[in-house]
Amino acid sequence: MSTPNILMTRIDNRLIHGQVGVTWTNSLGANLVVVANDEASADPVAQSLMDMVVSDDVQTRYFTLQKTIDVIHKAADRQKIFIVCKTPQDVLTLVKGGVPIKFVNVGNMHFSEGKKQIHKTVSVDDADINAFRELDKLGITCEIRRVPDEAGESVSKLIS
């Protein structure tokens, strides 16, 4: 079984939107975006909106977390994969399921009731913090960076 060529995994509560669809995909050289999200996998309207912002030479797949775990190791070497998730808990589920993620880019985690802001675009609650701590313990670097040319900031430093 070959290791899938995962270029990057991103947490963004908007999943794919203009900035991600174009900027990150181009800078990474990705040709496959896998949206690992249970709701989006069952929402054709959301999928077609997301497909609109991704260039024609990039494929998209909308999988549940479990399906991502089940199929990621079947990926071909030529598939340069960019995984997009909604929450750190979802990333942790993938990692525990055997998806070989080493680095996580944190884009947007919107503020809502019970969350505290740790960065301009990132707000977390205790469940998020626990998930990030667990990812950190597993040796996975989590870094806040909205766009590729911005300097990254370590999540573990911001939540310690």
Give the catalytic positions in this structure: 17
Over the range 14-45, which residues count as b (16 or more CB within 10 Å of their CB) and which as e?
ebbeeebbeebbeebebbbbbbbbbebbeeee
Question: Cα separation of 12 and 24, whole Å?
Answer: 12
Residue 10 burial class via C-beta count within 10 angstroms: exposed 0-12, middle 13-18, buried 19 and up: buried
- Residue 119 parent element (H or E): strand 116-119
Handedness of CA 76, 79, 80, 86 (dihedral sign): negative
